[in-house]
Structure 1
Amino acid sequence: MKAQTQNPSSARPLARRALLGMAAAAMLAGASWPALAAEDAASYPSKMIRITVPNPAGGTSDVLGRLLAKELGEMLKQPVIVENKAGGNGNIGAAYVAKSAPDGYNLLLLDMSVLTIGPSVQPQTTYSPKDLTPIAIPAYSPHLLVVKNDLPVKNLDELAAYAKKSAKPISFGTPLASISQLAGILLAQDKGFEFNVIGYKGGAQALADLAGGQIDSAMASVIATNQLVKGGKVKAIAVTSAKPFAATPGVATVASQIPGFVTGSWQGLLAPANTPPAILDKLQDTINKIVARPEFAKHLEELGSEPSGMNRQQIAEWMKTETTRWGKVVKDNNIKAE
């Protein structure tokens, strides 16, 4: 039997039609992505949300995370749990979320300094800060510069003058390669003196030694320091907020003497990169509603913090600026994580 052959000229229109059909299908599929994303956001969340805190239970991020989890669960009508994944200066938990599916069900709550100074002091990590995208900064707590009670200074000018004439450098307790160390170094340089940095594994240990009179000074968030100040264990001489801070009445800002000097603990909520913008917007709007509640605002003030007020785009720009700022301090002072 003679094999049938197809006329090439008749095959070409068929091939063209097939290609056009495939192209049209691809275009339709592409056009449907925004609709699918919007649909996903409309139905989100449909199951439990996990907030990873890359620190042990009981710390600032953990306390805030549990407050937020309760409020988010009530507003989103789904359970929200907090899971602690401590270690690696916050990088273990951050890497876990960075590598999670970008679907809004695995979120990260941490001190943003892990991401803004991390690339400079600890460049060898299993993830990049670019693998995460910001949602909100529900709480900001500025640094409080505190000194031991018998140090004869009451403000920043007196501290600088005392340091310049003292035969022994003022000791400054801090976790090494931390935001508090970098902030202390930058402050001292701007005021024309140098601290004798004493390294600690954690900020709580430094503050305990300060209260006991073993070291002269320390710098930590208002959340960590304010109870010691209120209890008369240490003296507060400056706060690093842009304007006078509600939780530290009567304490002068560093910015009043060094324009633009703002540091502290920004507690940020983030999601994996490529999470649909509509889901990020829904989470951001929900967080904004939560922090606007009088009861939640009161909780923040009692902790020694306040919401930052930045939106997602502003946070992303702020992260770039902070990374550059602290990268210079790290390089100029040859600071490395142990």
Structure 2
Amino acid sequence: MKRRDVLAGLAAVPLTAKVTAAQEAYPSRVVKILVPFGPGGSTDIISRLVGKQLETATGKPFVVENKPGATGMIGTAQVKNAPADGYTLLLGSTSTLAANPSLYKQMTYDPSDFTTVGVNGSIGNFMLVKPDAPYKTVKEFVAYAKAQPKPLFSGYGNASSRVPAALFEVTTGVKFEEVAYRDAVASIQDLNAGRVDVVFPDQVVGESYVRSGFVRALAVTSRERAPLFPDVEAVAETYPDYAIISYSCFSVRKETPDDIKKKLNRLVMDAIYEPSVMERVRQLGFIPPPRDWDIAKCDAFVTREREDWTRYIKLAKIEPQ
């Protein structure tokens, strides 16, 4: 072997060692968690819960930044355009990674741009009505709606609350007139005021309004009853083919180094199962996946949900905008 080749090989060893050491040291600085929605929603709450535990586990800051707009597309695109180094995490959701591709003709990103490194949990939506509404069950609601000379009004604040209502129409044969709102809270307020007849917000947003009696939960959209509301029927009890859930997750650009993705996977899944975080996640109504979910299982779950939501949207005959 030539002396030049030997020296080249020796020179390469420290460089490789340095790269490996740098990757093993992840994170070595501030990590940003970008939430593509405003503060206060379920995705925002969970991002802060998990982010705080990630700080504890790593000793490095995990800073949440809210970047709302365009049904989550503005913030999601920002993560797509960030360096693929693991220092900008996307708090992904049903809207951004499952529904938007079938609802909008022009997307600023593709869900396949990302790898999901952790799934926080899934949750059904509420089917909310006025407190004094004459119907007490899904069956009674459907009978009432079909007896009306005009469609009932359905309010929604985002894709995750619009599609459950549209799928309900297809499944039951009732007719709704859609009313769009800036967010789910505004639709709930108008429901109480009698301006719309039904809304399907996520349970985290709707919980306080249900418990206060401001509105009434007629049903949930998950296949089984919600653990926090065991007395509220699931739509599937009357219509077995109807079931739709929402989820949140942590994702990174797919080009992120594999060792960083694997480390994030363990950090996120362990953070969710930290007792204080798990208690709060369950209090919010989310059902976490098994702790041992690796990247392949997390990514497969998100892909399957996107396929399901594509089918829901087609069944509901919602045309992309």
Instruction: Give the TM-score, by structure 1 length.
Output: 0.83
Asked if 1:149 corresponds to 2:152, the answer is no
Task: Pick closer, same or farther for the CA change 1:296–1:233 going to 2, 3 Å.
Answer: same
**Displacement over 4 Å in runs of 4+:** 32-41, 331-334
Partner of 1:254: 235
The aligned residue for residue 263 of structure 2 is: 282
State the shift of 1:35 in Å: 8.4
1:40 CA drift (Å): 4.9
Q: Structure 1 266/37 Cα, relative in aligned 2: closer, same or farther at 3 Å?
A: farther
Q: How many residues align?
A: 318
* Kept in 1: contact 2:94–2:160 (CA 8 A): no
Counterpart among 109, 113, 125 of residue 91 in structure 2: 109
**What is the aligned partner in structure 2 of residue 335 from structure 1?**
318
What corresponds to 1:226 in structure 2? 207
Structure of larger gyration radius: 1
5+ residue gaps, structure 2: 1-13
Find the partner of 2:74 among 73, 77, 92: 92
Residue 70 of structure 1 aligns to which amino acid in structure 2? K
Measure, in 2, the Cα distance between the counterparts of 1:33 and 1:155: 67
SS at match of 1:159: helix
Whole-angstrom CA distance in 2 between matches of 1:34 and 1:216: 63
1:90 to partner: Cα distance: 0.9
Structure 1: runs of 5+ lacking an equivalent: 1-31
Identity %: 29
- The Cα shift of 1:337 comes to 6.0
- Between the aligned partners of 2:182 and 2:22, the Cα distance in structure 1 is 44
Secondary structure of the residue aligned to 1:189 is helix
Residue 321, structure 1, aligned to residue 275, structure 2: no
In the superposition, relative to structure 1, how do residues 92 and 292 fare at CA in structure 2: closer, same or farther (>3 Å)?
same
Cα displacement (A) at 1:95 = 0.9
Q: Equivalents in 2 of 1:35, 1:142: separation in Å? A: 47
SS class of match (1:265): strand
SS in 2 for 1:271: strand
Is 1:79 matched with 2:56? no
Matched AA of 2:205? A
Q: TM-score, normalised by structure 2?
A: 0.87
RMSD (CA atoms): 3.2
Written as runs of structure 1 = structure 2, the 5 A alignment for 1:1-338 is 39-175=21-157, 178-259=159-240, 261-309=242-290, 311-331=294-314, 333-336=316-319
Q: Structure 2: how far apart are the matches of 1:318 and 1:89?
A: 21
Does the 8 A contact of 2:71 with 2:95 survive in 1? Answer: no
